Structures are given as C-alpha cells and as structure tokens.
Amino acid sequence: MWLPQGAFVYSRINELKTKVMNQEIKELGIVELFEKVLNISIEESIAMGWEEENKLVMGWAKEHNYYVYSEPRESFFRWEGIKLAKEGGYSGVIFENLS
C-alpha cells in the first residue's frame, strides 16, 4: 500500500497524542497530600512558612511526576488542571485553590 511521505510518522504522532489525552490522571487535593500522604496535619501545614510548604509540595510532586495546579477561586478550573497535567505527560495533579 502506498502512503504519502511522512504519513506513518503523522499517524504515530496522532496515536501517541490520543494515548496521552486518554491517560488517567490521578487527582490529589493539597489538604489530602499533607494529611494522608505526608502525614502532616492541616494545623502543622498552616504553621509552616510558605517556603517550607512549597519545598515539600514541589519535591513530592517532582518525585511522583505530579503537576501542581494552584489558582485563586475565580480562575480555578479542575478540568484545566487535568488538561495541563495530561499535556505535560504527568501521572497526576495536585489541586490547590488559593482562596
């Protein structure tokens, strides 16, 4: 069967994009991350300085291939966090509503 030059490559790229877009993204809230994963109470996390908290979250996210989606309430959209995580090839997303 004859195919135009580059057709196979284009087909494989679309196949990979489809696989990435259909991958299941794990979701984790910031409170759930602290309390259930890191075993740090919400009170302890509130008492932490921003730098210490950020270091913990970003370190865990990097180690576990999670995207951190952190936005104020008016621009916080769960679907957007999932979309960005999928597009970035992440395994999951950590949600933080800054409101």
pLDDT on residue 28: 97
Which residues are bridge partners to 14 per DSSP?
Answer: none
pLDDT on residue 15: 47
Mean residue pLDDT of the chain comes to: 85
Q: Hunting for tokens 């950590």 — which residue is that?
A: 94
Q: Work out whether the CA dihedral 34, 40, 46, 47 comes out positive or negative.
A: negative
Compute the distance between CA of residue 95 and CA of residue 27 in angstroms, rounded to an integer.
7
pLDDT on residue 42: 86
Give the predicted TM-score (pTM) of the model: 0.75
90 near 62, Cβ under 8 Å? no
pLDDT in tens, 62-94: 999 999 999 999 999 999 999 999 999 999 999
Q: What is the average per-residue pLDDT within 5-22?
A: 48
Residue type, 21: M
- Percentage of the chain surpassing pLDDT 90? 73
33: Cβ contacts below 8 Å, ≥ 6 apart = 57, 60, 94
